[in-house]
Amino acid sequence: MNLADAISAAERGERLPFRAAELLYRDADLLVLGQLAHAARFRHNPARMVTYAVDRNINYTNVCTSGCRFCAFWRPKRHSEAYVLDDEAMAAKLEETRRLGGTQVLFQGGLNPDLDLEWHEARIRLIRSFGLHLHGYSPPEIIFMARSFGLTIDEVLERLIRAGLGSIPGGGAEILVDRVRRQIAPGKATSAEWLEVMASAHRRGIRTTATMMFGHVETLEDRLIHLFRLRSLQDRTAGFTAFIPWPYQPGRDTIKARERGGTEYLRMLAVSRLTLDNFPHVQASWVTQGPDVGQVALFFGADDMGSTMIEENVVAAAGVSHRLNQAEMARLITEAGFQPRQRDTLYRLVEAN
Amino acid sequence: MKNLLNLDWGLEATLERVTDSDLRRVGRKMFAGERLDRSDGLVCLETDDVPGLGSLALAAKRARYGDRVFYVVNHHLNYTNTCVNACRFCAFHRPPGAADAYVLSPNEAANRIASSGVADLKEIHLVGGVNPALNFEYYLDLLRALKAVSPDITIKAFTAVEIHQIAIQAKLPAPECLAALNEAGLSAMTGGGAEVFSERVRQELFPNKIGADDWLAIHGTAHRLGIGSNATLLFGHIETRSERMDHLLRLRDQQDETGGFRAFIPLVFHAPNTGLSHIPRVGGVEILKTVATARLVLDNFPHIKAYWIMLGLKLAQTALHFGADDLEGTIVQEKITHEAGATTAAGLSRQDLEDLIRSAGFVPTERNTFHQAVEAA
């Protein structure tokens, strides 16, 4: 197989073998990738429409025992900036989210051994009492609970779902290759565990997203293995709603890496759209790329702008801070030639109020 | 322009992948060596096939320079922020007598450059406000002092707006004034102050500044004296796509006549702290379309710059795939866009620029003001 074969395969919408994805990433012109991915986007989602959610991130704690070397957000337990959100602070955030037309909360936090399962269940019920969908607990948090409480993954999921968990975010995937995980996130769930949480959730009818954080110590082959692992799980469960790749944002005290440019992001995005032929949606990461490249990403395979993120803390901790309100989001999408539509976590359109 | 379709560059495949049939027609016309007209340009600005438009502009860029992308080791210097024009889109100017108004003496200006610590500096980009307190001698002394820092540094100085003002102070016709400045050390002119060549926009945003006819006449004069210059377009405020297109066509006509423009630089309007702070920033897609359209329409302009200060690094890098062939330079100390809320760095190292160009898939080429490649130091 050569590049021309890989381009033809992508043009015809065929399932890409590993070698084709590799050739496309390495050798195709950026704009050819854009054209192929944009066509693939319309095969999945023929409407000239770009969706987004209105939500807020709530990070319930920054105390974390994982010690990931790429993360600028976490604090050790006794650090002066360590926190666990109390109910009052959470209620204020939830009220504001509802007032701003939000439909969901992205609820994630560090691996904090002081929080028991009952604490989590009470927080879930609090969020649900505001009528908001709870998109929360990435696989590493669920694995951590299973380990800490001596439960199986299924038992933890069962409890959280019963309390009101609606869907699971695809965070903590980083790169689903254990050699890479040992280097950057030694204390975190393994790739098999991450995939197992998602498989269990999908079996229970809980939809999830999947992410990839690239541009640190991994190779191109690692990135592609990541995509192929996701594709094969999705073949079995069809529970992923969307894929969200973004480049690692080097912070002041985190692992050193060359900051990735806009073009490397767009290449990876386009190859993801082409490879993950069984994922309904691919999101643009305006939070890491800024609104300009976030908008351009709509021509490189993305059909969704993620969410407005009334609050975002994790990327901001690495010194990257972009802000978009709902009107700005709609304007960006319209200006790019698409119809903007608010959606909920499960990609159902929200009627304009 | 030659017919590129005879060359085996995969241009037919490029055309086939363009999904917008109007745009494909424009691309075929361009590759056949025909000049694009106003309606062709509007097809480019209005197309939904953004990657397709980019691929045509990239082909036009590659026909000129292959995979090379240029940059210059330069230093921006603003000798005064005092300006009587009070343009509504500007956050840099201060009225005469304002507490934070300043003028650099020729010595101070020279010291800034001498103490900047930039190795192998090739160019000073020198611009300022329209400040009636400065007489002709000041400008000549400023140029002489900067030239004295090092004979190897090229001084690219003043917008047409400043030249107009300096000529008034000097009580000289523009050609004599420019010749005197040239003699004192000015080797090239900057492209600023063009804004948008629309009288409607001028009346609304910059009524005190010279209009299109004067701006173009001064550049024409410089070109006839052998002084090369750049040209800009400030877009993303109240102008229409059609006005943007008119602007490009007037530049192309001027270039046909006098031929001294080296680069076209699309400038993205930054609203914060200006009199137009309510205007939202134009998005990345429109910026890339404007860059690509400029490459296709300005067939007689050698270079199209992606001015990273205004585009941001990620978008500037992307613009290299949309027809831009030049990233401007190290800059060191940008003030004008930063007063209007730019979040980019004020300067970049040579290494940063080369990394940006390489990671976008191109070959970095250091240049001087005249776009001659500089031998590696």
CATH of the domain at B280: 3.20.20.70
The yes-or-no verdict on residue A158 having pLDDT over 90 is yes
List, for residues A274-292, the tens digit of each pLDDT value.
Answer: 999 999 999 999 989 999 9
pLDDT band at A353 (very low <50, low <70, confident <90, very high): low
B52 alpha carbon, distance to own chain's centre: 25
- The verdict on B134 and B276 lying in the same domain is yes
- The verdict on B73 and B59 lying in the same domain is no
The yes-or-no verdict on residue A319 having pLDDT over 80 is no
Query: For residues B44 and B152, which has the higher predicted lDDT (pLDDT)?
Result: B44
Q: How many CB atoms lie within 10 A of CB B253?
A: 12
List, for residues B250-271, the tens digit of each pLDDT value.
Answer: 999 999 999 999 999 999 998 8
Query: For residues B86 and A176, which has the higher predicted lDDT (pLDDT)?
Result: A176
Report the candidate in A57, A130, A47 with the shortest Cα–Cα distance to residue A94: A130
The verdict on residue B268 lying in a domain is: yes
| pLDDT for position B1 | 58
Calpha distance B236→B27 (Å, rounded): 25
Domains of chain A as residue ranges with CATH: 47-342 (3.20.20.70)
Calculate the average pLDDT of chain A: 93
Chain A CB contacts of B361 under 8 Å are: 30, 263
Which of A12, A214, A292, A339 would you mutate first to test chain B, the one with the most B CBs within 10 A? A292
Calpha distance A336→A50 (Å, rounded): 10
Structure tokens at B358: 């390489």
Calpha distance A202→A179 (Å, rounded): 26
Q: What ipTM goes with this model?
A: 0.90
The yes-or-no verdict on residue A126 having pLDDT over 80 is yes
- The verdict on B125 and B12 lying in the same domain is no
The yes-or-no verdict on residue A332 having pLDDT over 80 is yes
Look up residue B197 and give its amino acid.
F
| pLDDT for position B7 | 66
Contact B282/A at CB under 8 A: yes
Look up residue A318 and give its amino acid.
A
Q: How much is the average pLDDT of B127-132?
A: 95
Helices (H) and strands (E) in chain B, counts: 16, 10
| pLDDT for position B78 | 95
- The verdict on B210 and B171 lying in the same domain is yes
Contact B338/A at CB under 8 A: no
Query: For residues A353 and B349, which has the higher predicted lDDT (pLDDT)?
Result: B349
Q: How much is the average pLDDT of B352-374?
A: 93
Report the candidate in B376, B310, B307, B294 with the shortest Cα–Cα distance to residue B343: B310
- The verdict on B50 and B141 lying in the same domain is no
- The verdict on B107 and B250 lying in the same domain is yes
| pLDDT for position B204 | 93
B319 alpha carbon, distance to own chain's centre: 14
Report the candidate in A138, A112, A107 with the shortest Cα–Cα distance to residue A123: A107
Q: Which residue of B has its CA nearest to A288?
A: B314
| pLDDT for position A261 | 81
A104 alpha carbon, distance to own chain's centre: 15
Report the candidate in B196, B192, B198 with the shortest Cα–Cα distance to residue B164: B192
Residues whose CB falls within 8 Å of the CB of residue B44, separated by 6 or more in sequence, listed in order: B23, B26, B36, B53, B289, B292, B293, B296, B297
Q: How much is the average pLDDT of A76-93?
A: 93
| pLDDT for position A220 | 97
Interface of B with A in 289-328 (CB under 8 A): 311-315, 317-318, 320-321
Calpha distance A158→A93 (Å, rounded): 27
* Residue B187 phi, psi dihedral angles, 5° rounding: -110, -15
| pLDDT for position B6 | 66
| pLDDT for position B8 | 63
| pLDDT for position A351 | 82
* Cross-chain residue pair B50–A291, CB shorter than 8 Å: no
pTM comes to 0.93
| Facing residue for A262 by CB, picked from B19, B314, B355 | B314
The yes-or-no verdict on residue A253 having pLDDT over 80 is no
| Facing residue for A35 by CB, picked from B52, B283, B287 | B52
- The verdict on B52 and B73 lying in the same domain is no
Chain B CB contacts of A50 under 8 Å are: none
Domain-ending residue, one of B65, B95, B113: B65
Structure tokens at A97: 């989210």
- The verdict on B42 and B166 lying in the same domain is no
The yes-or-no verdict on residue B377 having pLDDT over 60 is no
The yes-or-no verdict on residue A323 having pLDDT over 80 is no
The verdict on residue B373 lying in a domain is: no
* Cross-chain residue pair A263–B54, CB shorter than 8 Å: no
Q: How much is the average pLDDT of B190-197?
A: 96
Structure tokens at B134: 């400065």
Range with lowest mean pLDDT among A128-132, A257-261, B106-110, B172-176? A257-261
| pLDDT for position A352 | 67
Chain B CB contacts of A331 under 8 Å are: 280, 283
Calculate the average pLDDT of chain B: 94
pLDDT band at A320 (very low <50, low <70, confident <90, very high): low
Residues whose CB falls within 8 Å of the CB of residue B103, separated by 6 or more in sequence, listed in order: B79, B80, B82, B131, B133, B134
* Cross-chain residue pair B51–A34, CB shorter than 8 Å: yes
The yes-or-no verdict on residue B4 having pLDDT over 80 is no
Give me the domain span that covers residue B52.
4-65
List, for residues B79-102, the tens digit of each pLDDT value.
Answer: 999 999 989 889 999 999 999 999
Calpha distance B190→B261 (Å, rounded): 10
Calpha distance A251→A247 (Å, rounded): 12
**Helix, strand, or coil here: B140?**
helix
pLDDT band at B206 (very low <50, low <70, confident <90, very high): very high
| Facing residue for B280 by CB, picked from A296, A328, A336 | A328
The verdict on residue B374 lying in a domain is: no
- The verdict on B137 and B17 lying in the same domain is no
| pLDDT for position B231 | 98
The yes-or-no verdict on residue A312 having pLDDT over 80 is no
- The verdict on B78 and B225 lying in the same domain is yes
Number of domains in chain B: 2
- The verdict on B249 and B333 lying in the same domain is yes
- The verdict on B132 and B57 lying in the same domain is no
